[in-house]
Each structure stands twice: as C-alpha cells, then as structure tokens.
Amino acid sequence: GCNIDGEDDSYDFGSGAGFYVDATTEKWKNNYRMYSYVTEELLSVVNANFPTQPDRISIFGHSMGGHGALICALKNPGLYRSVSAFAPICNPTKCPWGDKAFSGYLGADRESWKSYDACELVKSYNGPPMQILVDQGKKDNFYVDKQLLPENLVAACTESKMEVVMRMQEVGEIRVIILYQQHFINSTVSTSTVSSAMFQQHCINSTVPTALYNQC
C-alpha cells in the first residue's frame, strides 16, 4: 500500500481495488493511477526489456481486471489487437461496486465517471473495428447480484454496431490451460467464468498479452 489512511479497510476499494482509473480526488490522485500504469508505464517497461512486437499487443482480464481490459482497449483505439474478459464489471456507473469506487477516486460528478465505463465508451468509440469477447458464468454470485451487468454491454455494442461475442457458461471452478509463446502454463482460477478459446485468441493476435486479474 501507500500508507494512505483507510486504503486497507475493504477488499473492493483502496489497496484491494484500484479500478484501473487515474484518481482525481485529493486523497488518492498521487498514487492511484492504475489506468496510466497499464496503458503507458507497463507497456514501456515490457517493450524495453523483452523481444516484443509493439504493434501486436492484446489485453484481457477477470472481474475488475475485465473492466480494466475493456476500458483500456476502448480508450486507446488501435493500441490492442484484441480484447476479452471473463466475468467483467461491464457497467460500473450502474452497480454498487462502481458507485463506491468512482465516488471515492473520481468524486461526486457522475458525468466524469463515464470515461471509465465500458458501456459509455462503446457509444463514443471512434477507431478501427474491434471485437469484444466476454465469457460469463451463470452461477457467478456477482452476476446474480447485478454487479457485472454484461447484458448492458451487449445492448450498448448492439446499438453502436460494435461486434461483441457474449458466451454464457454453465460452469463453476474449472482448470484452464493457457498456450502462450509455445509454453503451457497450468492455471487454476477460482471463478465461474473461464474459456480456453479466449486465450487462444490472444495467442494468435499478439506477442504481449497484458492480463489484468482481480478476484473481487
């Protein structure tokens, strides 16, 4: 943490959940800048230290990380070759998690929140054609509790004529095998939503998949 009073008080805010925004409120703005870290600093460090192809980058994530993957791709047209997410928070301006995080990091102006909401960003997207791939488990408690709202993302994409593939899965905890740069990595993910096809898409489209995982 950053030794900010209250940052460790809950799992869905502060050190537990930066929500991939650049905070603007006084208390958080100097340290909580995860959006810039992912889209600028992280890419710079990886490209400088590994044999990458900067024009072949993809991004994916889970839950809050899925929200991060979606907004990073939508706010940076052409930067990522593909974007996908499993169990992402799709419409944070309309769910309790987003209300808590955005009011804390961005302040009371709800209009400013829209710049970090995938459903809102889809409406204003003006870049090369993009396909969004989402896997969501029907038994995911957070889906049932209306924290994720993937149907809202599908509706926004349909209205804006952006291609979206939404796959509802009848699954619980499963094991996925990720094929990446000719190596097999065994990964057990405690979530209701994972698809090996999602990772295959990134292996085809990129040399540097950026994974944003979050278990909240």
Backbone angles phi, psi at 82, to 5 degrees: -150, 155
21 in any annotated domain: no
Residue whose entry in the numeric block shows the structure tokens 């800048």: 33
Q: Work out how many domains the chain is built from and give that number.
A: 1
Query: Is 61 inside a domain boundary?
Result: yes
Residue 75 lies in a domain: yes
Please state, in angstroms and rounded to a whole number, the distance separating the CA atoms of residues 186 and 103: 38
pLDDT at residue 56 in the model: 86
According to the model, what pLDDT value does residue 137 have?
A: 85
Q: Given this model, what pLDDT does residue 70 score? A: 96
> Would you state the pLDDT for residue 109?
96
Per-residue confidence (pLDDT) for residue 93, from 0 to 100: 98
> Is residue 77 in a domain?
yes
pLDDT at 53: 87
Which residues form the domain of 76? 34-212
Residuewise pLDDT in 10s, the chain (216 residues): 789 999 999 999 999 899 999 999 999 999 999 999 999 999 899 989 999 888 888 898 889 999 999 999 999 999 998 898 888 999 999 999 999 999 999 999 999 999 999 999 999 999 999 889 998 888 888 999 999 999 999 999 999 999 999 988 876 433 333 322 222 333 333 333 344 555 454 444 445 555 554 433
CA-atom Rg of the chain in angstroms: 17
Query: For position 178, what pLDDT does the model report?
Result: 33
Is residue 77 classed as helix, strand or coil in its secondary structure?
Answer: coil
Q: Can you list the positions of beta strands (E) in 73-182? A: 82-86, 131-137, 163-169, 174-180
- Residue 82 belongs to some domain of the structure: yes
Read off φ and ψ for residue 151, nearest 5 degrees.
-60, -30
Domain annotation covers residue 5? no
Query: Contact, 203 vs 183, CB < 8 A?
Result: no
CATH code for position 208: 3.40.50.1820
Please count the other Cβ atoms lying within 10 Å of the Cβ belonging to residue 171.
17
CA–CA distance, 185 with 139 (Å, rounded to integer): 26
Q: Which backbone phi and psi does 96 adopt, to 5 degrees?
A: -60, -40
Evaluate whether residue 60 is within a structural domain: yes
Backbone angles phi, psi at 47, to 5 degrees: -65, -30
Number of other CB atoms surrounding residue 119 within 10 Å: 24
Kindly tell me the sign of the dihedral angle through the C-alpha atoms of 107, 113, 116, 117.
Answer: positive
Straight-line distance from the first to the last Cα atom of the chain, in angstroms, rounded to the nearest whole number: 17
Burial per residue of 23-52, b for 16 or more beta-carbon CB atoms within 10 angstroms, e otherwise: beeeebeeebbbbeebbeeebeeeeeeeee
| pLDDT confidence of residue 210 | 55
Residue 27 placed within a domain: no
Q: What's residue 170's pLDDT?
A: 75
Q: What is the pLDDT of residue 182?
A: 27
Q: Can you give the length of the chain in residues?
A: 216
* Token output for 109: 């102006």
